[in-house]
């Protein structure tokens, strides 16, 4: 099956209340959807599960309304509870094999690739799509390991057929090159959440993608 059928999303918004700079994150999500994002991840760090659940439930009402898949970062219980499309985990989170063992194919699993050696492990094998973590270093998340760059995308592309999500300082100036290097999708926080006009920012990013 062609990759775009497995993961038919090209513009991926990763949203948190903090990234929206005092604006209502639900309003920013609606604006981003109007501008053309086609998948959203809720990424709240340092929040307890009841508070995460409350935010996820509110956002799910919006994503359902617009028929946009919602992914929950880190918290599998929240993802499962709200009937999310999927969950995104990294090397410090619940491993994909555990999620798969418990929930089968109920949740799509995104998994961060920080080391090339991960491409040979069981966690990558069971994941549905992979985050290239990060393509370029970013102030939004500083606890990262490898800055993959365009060459890193090409290398990872040559080693896996899984859908690749490019994350880390993605913006209008690099989106086309990142896709050209082999990514299937770009994921952004600040380029949309911190933009003065999130709808326009999403629309302009969308136009950089094929």
Ligand X SMILES: Cc1nc(C(=O)O)sc1CCOP(=O)(O)O
Using CB under 5 A, which of the segments 48-56, 71-79, 182-190, 194-202 binds Mg ion?
71-79
Contact of residue 123 among Mg ion, ligand LCLJCK34, ligand X, none (CB under 5-8 Å per partner type) = none
Q: Is 73 annotated as a binding residue?
A: yes
| Residue 63 or 133 having the CB closest to ligand X | 133
Tokens (6 digits) for 80: 């499962």
Phi-psi region of 106 (alpha: psi -120 to 50; beta: other; left: phi over 0): alpha
Using CB under 5 A, which of the segments 72-80, 120-128, 144-152, 162-170 binds Mg ion?
72-80
Helix (H) or strand (E) holding 42: strand 39-42
Instruction: In whole angstroms, give the CA distance from residue 199 to residue 169.
Output: 18
**Which residues contact residue 92 at a Cβ distance below 8 angstroms, ignoring those fewer than 6 apart?**
none
Q: Is 43 annotated as a binding residue?
A: yes
Q: Is 203 exposed, middle or buried (0-12, 13-18, 19+ CB in 10 A)?
A: middle
* 208 three-state secondary structure: coil
95 binds Mg ion (CB under 5 A): no
Tell me which residues touch ligand LCLJCK34 (CB under 6 A).
14, 41, 43, 73-74, 88-90, 93, 110, 112, 131, 133, 141, 165, 167, 187
Which residues make beta-bridge pairs with 185?
A: 165
**For ligand X, how many residues bind (rule: CB under 6 A)?**
18
| Residue 89 or 195 having the CB closest to Mg ion | 89
Instruction: In whole angstroms, give the CA distance from residue 72 to residue 93.
Output: 12
Any idea which residue has 């690749």 for tokens? 164
Positions annotated as catalytic residues are 43, 112, 141
Indicate which single residue of 71, 99, 156, 189 sits in contact with ligand X (rule: CB under 6 A): 189
Contact of residue 95 among Mg ion, ligand X, ligand LCLJCK34, none (CB under 5-8 Å per partner type) = none
- Binding site per annotation, positions: 41-45, 73-74, 93, 112, 138-141, 189-190
């Amino acid at each position: 099956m062609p990759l775009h059928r497995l993961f038919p999303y090209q513009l991926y918004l990763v949203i948190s209340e903090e990234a929206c700079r005092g604006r209502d994150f639900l309003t920013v999500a609606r604006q981003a959807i109007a501008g053309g994002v086609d998948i959203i991840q809720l990424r709240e760090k340092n929040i307890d599960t009841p508070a995460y659940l409350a935010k996820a439930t509110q956002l799910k009402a919006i994503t359902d309304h617009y028929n946009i898949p919602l992914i929950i970062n880190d918290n599998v219980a929240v993802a499962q509870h709200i009937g999310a499309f999927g969950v995104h985990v990294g090397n410090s989170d619940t491993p994909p094999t555990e999620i798969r063992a418990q929930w089968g194919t109920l949740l799509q699993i995104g998994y961060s690739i920080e080391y090339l050696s991960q491409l040979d492990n069981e966690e990558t094998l069971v994941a549905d799509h992979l985050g290239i973590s990060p393509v370029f270093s970013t102030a939004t998340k500083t606890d990262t390991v490898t800055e993959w760059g365009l060459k890193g995308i090409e290398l990872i592309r040559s080693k896996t057929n899984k859908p690749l999500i490019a994350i880390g300082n993605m913006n209008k100036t690099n989106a086309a090159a990142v896709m050209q290097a082999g990514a299937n999708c770009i994921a952004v926080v600040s380029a949309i959440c911190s933009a003065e006009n999130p709808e326009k920012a999403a629309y302009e990013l969308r136009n950089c993608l094929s």
